[in-house]
């Protein structure tokens, strides 16, 4: 059976980040088909060099299909989504775009809001502009968003909310391309997230810092995040947003599980700039146009020109991380499932998911 990326030419912006690297591995594995070409666009020369080294040093001689295929299809480009000419050049000959480029650290975005706007809003706008102005025959663009875009109280969420509107409206500006979105919560052990921080604090003997004991977050693995992207690629209609059903946990419970029986204290330091107590994946307003499709929620776009017949009854209520949280044993089971329990023997900074 033909898969959606068989024979396609794919561009991943932000391809050297945590999500981009997992998406690349899954593409090379053939989970969504066998692409003819995969282009990695990123501005971080060092990260790109080491990613090239990883794939090209093993290359054709590797028995692992991921590395063997990489030598045939992988292409690297240094560049920034903030630059329209760079984006336009990278999009030449591309069929499918995954926009994973983002500034995502909440406090950093608060202190450098213009930088967040340039990457998180103008970056996707450049993708749309390049496709529209140069009449590029791109088939699909998948934008990656976050629960922080819902009822945003921080710059990161505000810019991601604007990205969602830019991507949805693009279906009217460049009607020959399908623009769709995915939105999800915290990715377990991604760069800069809480779990690597907790590991490092435990390694140093504590204390483990908690911003607020009430704080909850949706949790999913990088592979689960990629599953959402592939689901939207396969099934989303123009302007729709795919949202996974995801477990939620108290951050203080995650800290307790990671500390285990060690004599390490926790310290409440207060909410950081722009942080919420609970995150929301679907607002009450969106709930009127959100319905379930298997393990995903599908949000229809707000623009009437893009409205479609719903695939089921509306969920009708907000979807918050505070609605239903895992108990302590279930948090432990989730972290163990993904190989994230603290390991004394693990090297510092290890963020690898099984």
What does the pLDDT read at residue 350?
42
Please give the pLDDT value at position 187: 86
150: in domain: yes
Domains in the chain, number: 1
| Residue 204 resides in a domain | yes
Q: Report phi then psi at 126, rounded to 5.
A: -65, -40
pTM of the model: 0.91
Q: Hey, which residues does 181 pair with through a beta bridge?
A: 143, 241
Q: Could you tell me if residue 351 is inside a domain?
A: no
Greatest CA span in the chain, whole angstroms?
A: 62
Assigned domain for 14 exists: yes
Q: Classify each residue of 138-150 as buried b or exposed e, where b means 16 or more C-beta atoms within 10 Å of its C-beta.
A: bebbbbbbbbbbb
C-alpha to C-alpha distance for 175 and 343, rounded to whole angstroms:
51
> Active-site residues: which are they?
148
Whether 243 maps to a domain, the answer reads: yes
Residue 349 forms part of a structural domain: no
Burial class (CB within 10 angstroms; exposed 0-12, middle 13-18, buried 19+) of 89 = middle
Neighbouring residues of 22: CB distance < 8 A, sequence distance ≥ 6: 222, 223, 225, 226, 353
Beta bridge partners of 280: 320
pLDDT at 67: 64
User: How confident is the prediction along the chain (354 residues), in pLDDT tens digits per residue?
Assistant: 789 999 999 999 999 999 999 999 999 999 999 999 999 999 999 999 999 888 877 655 555 656 667 878 999 999 999 999 999 999 999 999 999 999 998 889 999 999 999 999 999 999 999 999 999 999 999 999 999 999 999 999 999 999 999 999 999 999 999 999 999 998 887 766 788 889 999 999 999 999 999 999 999 999 999 999 999 999 999 999 999 999 999 999 999 999 999 999 999 999 888 789 999 999 999 999 999 999 999 999 999 999 888 889 999 999 999 999 999 999 999 999 988 888 775 655 444 332
User: Which residues constitute the domain of residue 80?
Assistant: 9-337
**Nearest-angstrom CA–CA distance, 210 and 252:** 6
> For position 89, which CATH number holds?
3.40.50.720
Structure confidence at residue 61 (pLDDT): 55
Check residue 348 and give its pLDDT: 53
Domain presence at residue 346: no
Please spell the DSSP secondary structure of 229-245, one letter per residue.
Answer: HHHHHHHPPTT-EEEE-
């Amino acid at each position: 059976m033909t898969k959606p990326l068989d024979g396609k030419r794919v561009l991943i912006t932000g391809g050297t980040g945590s999500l981009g690297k997992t998406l690349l591995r899954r593409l090379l594995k053939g989970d969504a088909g066998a692409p003819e070409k995969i282009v990695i666009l990123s501005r971080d020369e060092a990260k790109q060099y080491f990613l090239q080294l990883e794939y090209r040093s093993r290359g054709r001689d590797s028995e692992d299909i991921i590395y063997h295929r990489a030598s045939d299809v992988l292409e690297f480009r240094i560049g920034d989504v903030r630059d329209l000419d760079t984006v336009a050049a990278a999009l030449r000959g591309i069929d499918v775009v995954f926009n994973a480029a983002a500034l995502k650290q909440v406090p950093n975005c608060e202190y450098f809001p213009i930088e967040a706007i340039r990457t998180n809003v103008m970056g996707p706008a450049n993708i749309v502009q390049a496709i529209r102005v140069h009449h590029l025959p791109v088939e699909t663009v998948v934008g990656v968003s976050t629960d922080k875009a819902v009822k945003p109280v921080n710059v990161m969420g505000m810019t991601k909310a604007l990205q969602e509107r830019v991507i949805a409206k693009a279906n009217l500006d460049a009607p020959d391309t399908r623009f769709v979105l995915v939105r999800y919560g915290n990715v377990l052990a991604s760069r800069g997230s809480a779990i690597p921080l907790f590991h490092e604090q435990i390694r140093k003997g504590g204390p483990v810092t908690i911003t607020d004991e009430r704080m909850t977050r949706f949790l999913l693995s990088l592979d689960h995040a990629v599953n959402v992207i592939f689901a939207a690629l396969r099934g989303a209609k123009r302007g729709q947003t795919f949202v996974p059903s995801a477990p939620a946990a108290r951050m203080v419970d995650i800290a307790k599980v990671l500390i285990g029986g060690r004599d390490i204290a926790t310290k409440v330091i207060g909410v950081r700039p722009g942080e919420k107590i609970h995150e929301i994946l679907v607002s009450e307003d969106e709930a009127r146009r959100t319905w379930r499709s298997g393990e995903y929620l599908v949000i229809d776009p707000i623009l009437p020109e893009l409205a479609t017949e719903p695939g089921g009854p509306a969920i009708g209520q907000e979807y918050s991380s505070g609605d239903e949280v895992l108990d302590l044993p279930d948090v432990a089971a989730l972290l163990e499932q993904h190989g994230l329990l603290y390991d004394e023997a693990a090297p510092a900074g290890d963020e690898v998911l099984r």
